[in-house]
Amino acid sequence: MRDDTSDLSWDDWDELNDPRPDVSDFDAVVEEAISRRGFLGGVLAFGSGAAVMGTGSLLSTTSAEAATMSRFAFTPIGIQTDSTVHVPEGYSWKSVAKWGQPLFSDAPEFDHSTGGDVVSSARVFGENTDGMELFSVGKHQVIAVNHEYVNTKTNLPNNEGGVPTSADDVRKLQNLQGVTVMEVAEGDDGWDIVVDSPFNRRIDHNTPMRIAGPAAGHDMLKTSADPDGLLALGTMNNCGAGKTPWGTYLTCEENFNGYFGSTDDTLERTDGWKRYGVGLKGRYAYETFDPRYDLSQNPNEPNRFGYIVEIDPADPNSTPVKRTALGRFKHENAACVVAPNGQIVVYMGDDERGEFMYKFVSTGVYQPGGDTDNLLDEGSLYAAKFNADGTGEWVELTPEATGMDAIDITVHTRMAASAVGATTMDRPEWVAVNPIAAEGYCCLTNNKNRGVKPNAGGDDTSVNGPNPRETNNYGQIVRWFPANDDHATDAFRWDLYVMAGNPIVGEGAYKGSSNVNAGNLFNSPDGMMFDSSGLLWIQTDGNDSNEGEYEGMGNNQMLAGDPVTGEIVRFLTGPQGSEVTGVTWSSDRRTMFVGIQHPAAPFPDGEGKLARSTVIAVKRDDNGLVG
Ligand code: FEO
Ligand code: CA
Ligand code: CA
């Protein structure tokens, strides 16, 4: 019987396998941070309303001015601790797609006594809904949506401790992850899946994918089943997402390391495995029942994951493509923007304590209607370096700068970023780019190791400019302003849009910035997306105990932020136990689709039923615009 680690976060699971040494001296790092920039002192003053943001734009606005400038078309709601979803007065919500809901008429209705069998698991909406994007394909509305990981006790309800005990169990778990592409339509009863739509498709841990870009065909990507290193099977741990200007979906492989293990426990771990947390014991026992995940038989298989995968939602027969040029790490999401000269810029985060932020800039330029097949295969990869004085630089990861060859930079990108001294961050989650201003935002969700332990590569993680609090359990959102309003340039200025905190029970910097107040408390910002009007929607994946340092924060939630005034207000609360993650809009913006991941029972089907991750549709009762 395996230890029960099913309730651990991915970061805690990683550290269970690879404990990090305690190295830092608190007082010394705090002292250093204060003297270096005075920023932490500024943060301390946030609670009293002092102006300290890098641009001054946020805090130079008084609350009275902010109120008259408010752009929010709803009355903010209070916190909740119950088992359902809440939205503002004048809005309502409805379930659209739940784990196990048929995409095809040959799949049976969901069976709460079994969670579905292995055959049906490939024909239904998967588990743990996460990043998503809606595409208009002719008159059809097609949503591509990620299924990040599984909740084994819920998905295998008849297995002791949810532990897989057969190849069928493992295959069922594999089928419930990956990506769903589904057509949705609004009828008299609201939005629903269009069952049997020709667009409907499941992509899972066994779907063939073309490997493209610099690492395609390299020895590190060759396996016995694929001696050319050009065709991988599956995409996994699909977390956040992105959308290209040419209408394809980008799905991001995050905690891929946890799926591998070894049936030979004497196997020596390579440096590459250690840097990425690939260990000898997988999280879901795949290695026991599926030799592809057994490192002792297929040591290169992990090198085929940790990428961004491009999917054409309009063509259900298309082969997804792994774009290795965008680097290999725990990809959170992908924020795509076109630079003034037509180059494609993709901002990306590596979600692990003390890892980095990245940017890809294409060599070629995008021309609407032109050939985009190779645009994401050739370009430059950069890691972010934030200076304490409010400036920063995207440092290109070249052989000269890193001492690594070009392919190794692609496959072991973390090591390349460490080599150039990129800034260690408090777990970069989603990146979002403002559609009406030249600025990017990244959620730094939390990092209890800040100032306490190095990252997985041994890099020092003392407090620094955008990560100014040791033992940071609340998180913050950093934003940057590229020089010349051009996302393809190397130089930027930066500030903090918000530092989450608790002005009621917190001390000093842990009170949060001045745009955090008793009415909008939250912790651990994670999902984040701008709507087309330039409002910033922030989703949380944090501690929902509503106790101690989290008192007054309630369940995980979704807030709206005004990037100009800094005002942040609560729009939606999720059911107890859930993370709110993933948001997209119908083509007319009258519906907002929101993801509710891993709720606790009884959401959404009631007492005695299995809990089901669910995509909901949120509408205004007057059918007005929602964002
Ligand atoms: Fe899958 Fe970093 O959230
Ligand atoms: Ca996330
Ligand atoms: Ca998270």
Q: What is the pLDDT of residues 474-517, one digit of tens each?
A: 999 999 999 999 999 999 999 999 999 999 999 999 999 999 99
Which of 9, 46, 22, 43 minimizes the C-alpha distance to 469? 43
Specify the residue with its C-alpha closest to ligand 1, atom 1. Answer: 239
429 Cα–ligand 1 center, Å: 6
pLDDT of 57 over the 60 cut: no
Residues with CB under 6 A from ligand 1: 148, 239, 254, 332, 351, 429
Q: Return the axis-axis angle of helices 39-46 and 26-37, rounded to nearest 10°.
A: 90
State the DSSP code for 67.
H
What b/e sequence results for 25-58 when a residue is b if at least 16 CB atoms lie within 10 Å of its CB, and e otherwise? eeeebbebbbeebebbbbbbbbbeeeebbbeeeb
**Strand 208-212 to strand 321-323: parallel, antiparallel, or no bridges (unpaired)?**
parallel
Ion ligand 3: residues, Cβ under 5 Å: 526, 541
Is 181 within 8 Å of 144 (Cβ atoms)? yes
Q: How far apart are CA 198 and CA 154, in angstroms?
A: 30
Q: Please, how many CA atoms are within 13 Å of residue 251, restricted to the half-sphere of its CB?
A: 32
Mean per-residue pLDDT of the chain: 93
**271: amino acid identity, one letter:** D
Q: How far apart are CA 505 and CA 493, in angstroms?
A: 32
Confidence at residue 549, expressed as pLDDT on a 0 to 100 scale: 98
pLDDT of 12 over the 50 cut: yes
Task: Give the pair of three-digit tokens for residue 501.
Answer: 């905190």
Confidence at residue 23, expressed as pLDDT on a 0 to 100 scale: 63
Confidence at residue 22, expressed as pLDDT on a 0 to 100 scale: 78
196 Cα–ligand 3 center, Å: 33
82 Cα–ligand 3 center, Å: 21
Ligand nearest to the CA of 128: 1
410 Cα–ligand 3 center, Å: 25
Is 302 within 8 Å of 221 (Cβ atoms)? no
pLDDT of 59 over the 70 cut: no
274 Cα–ligand 1 center, Å: 20
How confident is the model over 126-145, as a mean pLDDT?
98
pTM of the model: 0.93
Confidence at residue 531, expressed as pLDDT on a 0 to 100 scale: 97
Ligand nearest to the CA of 351: 1
Q: How far apart are CA 540 and CA 549, in angstroms?
A: 16
How far does Cα 473 stand from its chain's mean position?
Answer: 18
Atom of ligand 1 nearest to the CA of 240: 1
State the DSSP code for 605.
T
Residue-by-residue DSSP string for 555-584:
S-EEEEE-TTT--EEEEEEPPTT-EEEEEE
With bands split at pLDDT 50, 70 and 90, how would you rate the model's confidence at 6?
confident
With bands split at pLDDT 50, 70 and 90, how would you rate the model's confidence at 4?
confident
How confident is the model over 596-614, as a mean pLDDT?
98
Atom of ligand 1 nearest to the CA of 332: 2
Q: What is the pLDDT of residues 413-446, one digit of tens each?
A: 999 999 999 999 999 999 999 999 999 999 999 9
Ligand nearest to the CA of 9: 3
227 Cα–ligand 1 center, Å: 32
Reduce the DSSP state of residue 304 to 3 states and report it: helix
Atom of ligand 1 nearest to the CA of 237: 1
Q: What is the pLDDT of residues 206-252, one digit of tens each?
A: 999 999 999 999 999 999 999 999 999 999 999 999 999 999 999 99
Confidence at residue 234, expressed as pLDDT on a 0 to 100 scale: 98
Atom of ligand 1 nearest to the CA of 130: 1
Is 502 within 8 Å of 510 (Cβ atoms)? yes
311 Cα–ligand 3 center, Å: 24
CA angle 255-430-309, nearest 5°? 55
Q: What is the pLDDT of residues 544-584, one digit of tens each?
A: 999 999 999 999 999 999 999 999 999 999 999 999 999 99
Backbone angles phi, psi at 508, to 5 degrees: 55, -130
Ligand nearest to the CA of 475: 3
pLDDT of 404 over the 80 cut: yes
Atom of ligand 1 nearest to the CA of 445: 2
pLDDT of 54 over the 70 cut: no
Task: Give the pair of three-digit tokens for residue 225.
Answer: 């089943």
Q: What is the pLDDT of residues 70-129, one digit of tens each?
A: 689 899 999 999 999 999 999 999 999 999 999 999 999 999 999 999 999 999 999 999
Ligand nearest to the CA of 238: 1
Minimum mean pLDDT range among 30-39, 106-115, 313-322: 30-39
With bands split at pLDDT 50, 70 and 90, how would you rate the model's confidence at 614?
very high
How confident is the model over 12-17, as a mean pLDDT?
91
Q: How far apart are CA 118 and CA 159, in angstroms?
A: 14
Which of 544, 538, 524 minimizes the C-alpha distance to 83? 544
Is 301 within 8 Å of 295 (Cβ atoms)? yes
pLDDT of 35 over the 50 cut: no
Confidence at residue 140, expressed as pLDDT on a 0 to 100 scale: 98
Atom of ligand 1 nearest to the CA of 255: 1
Atom of ligand 1 nearest to the CA of 429: 2
Place of tokens 């029960």: 4
Confidence at residue 627, expressed as pLDDT on a 0 to 100 scale: 77
163 Cα–ligand 3 center, Å: 24
Q: Please, how many CA atoms are within 13 Å of residue 217, restricted to the half-sphere of its CB?
A: 3
Ligand nearest to the CA of 581: 2
10 Cα–ligand 1 center, Å: 9
Confidence at residue 568, expressed as pLDDT on a 0 to 100 scale: 98
257 Cα–ligand 1 center, Å: 13
Atom of ligand 1 nearest to the CA of 254: 1
